[in-house]
């Protein structure tokens, strides 16, 4: 699956390996990603975006898919000028860094645990976009096999602080959201059992700050 190959290529080049628990991954902003990339420039290679094929992203809206394809194309153009046996020139780093940073940021590794979770998560989010409740602050996704060895989809829903202050309100809101998310998840991923968990936004890991 080319999407998976591309996902792994970017993640490996950016030194952002799959966490054991995606729900506890700190949120990454542009500055945090850029700081990581400036630590070493081994990512400045066409192999960093190996496997990309725009057709694999048909689940994204046209504008989002076109933007990602443009970033990859421009990054490849710059990376192809860098010799693998020599240090990357500063001008190439400065041209390529914002491109690769935006590629990394668009894949949101802290919210999607793997390539399939990214695809399914995006589809679920787009399907509920028109009626998504304001108190649903964030969703995170992961895929794999459950304890019985069956394909599964894990969804973590973070609720806003205002509905998390009282246990009764939190539980009522969580049940309402479960009734919303469960049928959509089953429709989008009929071969995966959905496991939906709820947490307060205050429990989420803080964003990584630039130093």
pLDDT digits (tens, 9 = 90+) for 99-142: 999 999 999 999 999 999 999 999 999 999 999 998 999 999 99
Domain end among 69, 85, 107: 107
Q: What is the domain extent for residue 161?
A: 115-203
In-domain check, residue 208: no
Residues 98 and 149 in one domain: no
Task: Check residue 194 and give its pLDDT.
Answer: 97
Residues 65 and 128 in one domain: no
Percentage above 90 pLDDT, the chain: 69
Which residues lie across from 152 on neighbouring strands? Answer: 144, 193
pLDDT at 159 over 50: yes
Residues 97 and 52 in one domain: yes
Question: Residue 145: how many CA atoms within 13 Å on its side-chain side?
Answer: 4
Q: Between the CA of residue 62 and those of 57, 65, 177, what are the distances in Å?
A: 9, 5, 28
Residue 145 binned pLDDT confidence (cut-offs 50, 70, 90): very high
- Please give the tally of structural domains in the chain: 2
Percentage above 70 pLDDT, the chain: 92
Q: Which residue has the higher pLDDT, 30 or 122?
A: 122
Residues 94 and 12 in one domain: yes
Domain end among 107, 130, 155: 107
Edge-to-edge order in the sheet of strand 193-200 = 136-145, 151-159, 193-200
Q: Which residue has the higher pLDDT, 169 or 45?
A: 45
Residue that is written with structure tokens 């668009």 in the block: 106
């Amino acid at each position: 699956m080319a999407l998976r190959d591309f996902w792994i290529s970017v993640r490996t080049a950016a030194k952002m390996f799959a966490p054991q628990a995606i729900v506890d991954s700190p949120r990454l902003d542009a500055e945090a990603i850029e700081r990581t990339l400036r630590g070493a420039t081994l990512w400045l290679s066409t192999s960093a975006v190996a496997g990309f094929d725009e057709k694999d992203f048909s689940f994204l809206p046209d504008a989002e898919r076109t933007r990602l394809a443009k970033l990859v194309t421009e990054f490849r153009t710059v990376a192809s000028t860098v010799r693998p046996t020599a240090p990357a020139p500063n001008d190439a780093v400065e041209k390529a860094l914002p491109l690769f940073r935006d590629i990394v940021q668009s894949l949101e590794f802290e919210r999607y645990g793997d390539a399939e979770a990214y695809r399914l998560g995006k589809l679920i989010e787009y399907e509920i976009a028109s009626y998504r409740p304001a108190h649903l602050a964030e969703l995170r996704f992961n895929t794999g096999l459950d304890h019985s060895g069956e394909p599964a989809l894990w969804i973590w829903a973070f609720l806003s602080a205002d509905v998390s202050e009282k246990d009764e309100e939190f539980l009522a809101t969580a049940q309402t959201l479960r009734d919303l998310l469960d049928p959509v998840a089953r429709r989008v991923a009929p071969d995966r059992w959905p496991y939906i968990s709820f947490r307060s936004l205050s429990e989420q890991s803080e964003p990584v700050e630039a130093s």
